[in-house]
Structure 1
Amino acid sequence: MDKLNDRFSTTMLTIALYVVAIAYLFPIVWLLLSSLKTGGELFSFPLSILPENPTLENYTYSWNTMDFMKYFINTMFVAVTTTVLTVLASATCGYALAKYKYKWLNVFLICMLATTMLPTEVIMTPTFSVILNLGLYDNLAGLIIPSINTATGIFMFRQYFLTVPNDLIESARIDGANEGRIFFNMMLPIAKPVVITLAIFSFQWRWNDYIWPLLVVSDPDNYTVQIALRSIVGADNIDWVLLLASSIISLVPMFIIFIVFQRYIMDTSATSGLKG
Structure 2
Amino acid sequence: PELALERFKGLLTRSVKRSVTLKPLHAVDRNYNFAAAVIGNSQATITSALTLADADHEVLRFGTAEQPLTDLVDHANIHNFPDWNVKGIKGTLGDFQILIEADGHEQVLRAGTVILGEKARRRIAYTHQEGLPSCTVEPVLQQRGVTGVPFAYPCATSVPGLYLAEPTDINVSKLKKGTAAAVMVAAAMPRGPRQSKGFTAAIDEKLCRGCGRCTTACLYHAMTLQPNGVGGWRAQVDEALCKGCGNCISVCPTGAADSPFRNRLFLEQALEELLTRESAHE
The TM-score bracket by the shorter chain reads under 0.3
Give 1 or 2: higher strand fraction: 2
Give 1 or 2: higher helix fraction: 1
TM norm structure 2: 0.26
TM norm structure 1: 0.26
